[in-house]
Structure 1
Amino acid sequence: MKKVIHTDNAPKAVGPYSQAVQMGDFLFCSGQISIDPKTNEVFTGDIKIQTEMVMKNIDAVLTQAGLNFSNVIKTTIFITNMNDFATVNEIYAKSFKEAPPARSTVAVAGLPKGVNVEIEVIAHR
């Protein structure tokens, strides 16, 4: 049975979607961007800070579902500039010290709210 996951510790959806949906032992998390969930303000500055915010938002959704980064089995990173790859990778890697998940990184022309990085994850209980 499909279960919608929501937490106030991650940004509200900016469209008709859920922060995450649990189906059986799998959790499908929508892409997170650099929005501060407390103020709902978008941060479009330094890519390092954007990525830190994104990872914090993902952590909040995982936590709400009773999971953590060790449960993540697949991620997709969307970035607007491949020159930011190394910086994004450096911050991302801090959450996956052992047995990192499968991953794709895709350069895109643009992302919601003018941010430069969006990350989505799939986790398994």
Structure 2
Amino acid sequence: MTRQIIQTKNAPTAIGTYSQAVRVGDTIYLSGQIPLVPETMTLVEGDMETQIRQVFNNLKAVAEAAGSHLDQVVKLNVYLTDLANFSLVSEIMANYFSSPYPARAVLGVSTLPRGASVEMDAIIYLS
């Protein structure tokens, strides 16, 4: 199968040795997104809700660049430096996804790149 690299200026550029997303066949693997503002490559200013929304917006931009959308996500991984924000992620997620929701894991971690409080990655299956 052919590997297609997905890249868009509407999401933060990679801050390491990885691609924003890779498509192989009918599957798209979205790399982890932190709440960076694409235009400035700085963390979004604001509360945790603002940060979570920025991450979802970044994932959405990459999904759209791949010709897809968040409703086609089959697996979402969420990394939080404070698991007290678990319910906030769920609340905000309902604004970006509709039922049936993707499979999801939420993991508590000690640190994230650039001092972010949240990171998410996803897998899309194009049906």
Gaps of 5+ in 1: none
| Number of residue pairs aligned between Structure 1 and Structure 2 | 125
- Give the aligned partner of residue 27 of structure 1: 28
The runs of at least 4 consecutive aligned structure 1 residues that moved more than 4 Å come to none
Q: Equivalents in 1 of 2:14, 2:112: separation in Å?
A: 14
Structure 1 length as normaliser, TM-score?
0.96
Gaps of 5+ in 2: none
Residue 43 of structure 1 contacts residue 115 of structure 1 at CA under 8 Å; is this kept in 2?
no
- Give the aligned partner of residue 78 of structure 1: 79
Q: Equivalents in 1 of 2:69, 2:77: separation in Å?
A: 17
Residues 29-82 of structure 1: per-residue CA shift (max 9 Å, x gap): 001110000111113641100000000000000000000011100010000001
Q: Indicate the percent of aligned positions where both proteins have the same amino acid.
A: 38
- Give the aligned partner of residue 98 of structure 1: 99
Q: Equivalents in 2 of 1:122, 1:108: separation in Å?
A: 20
The amino acid that maps onto 1:24 is G
2:24 paired with 1:14: no
- Give the aligned partner of residue 68 of structure 1: 69
- 3-state SS of the aligned residue for 2:40? coil
CA-based RMSD of the aligned residues comes to 1.0
Structure 2 length as normaliser, TM-score?
0.95
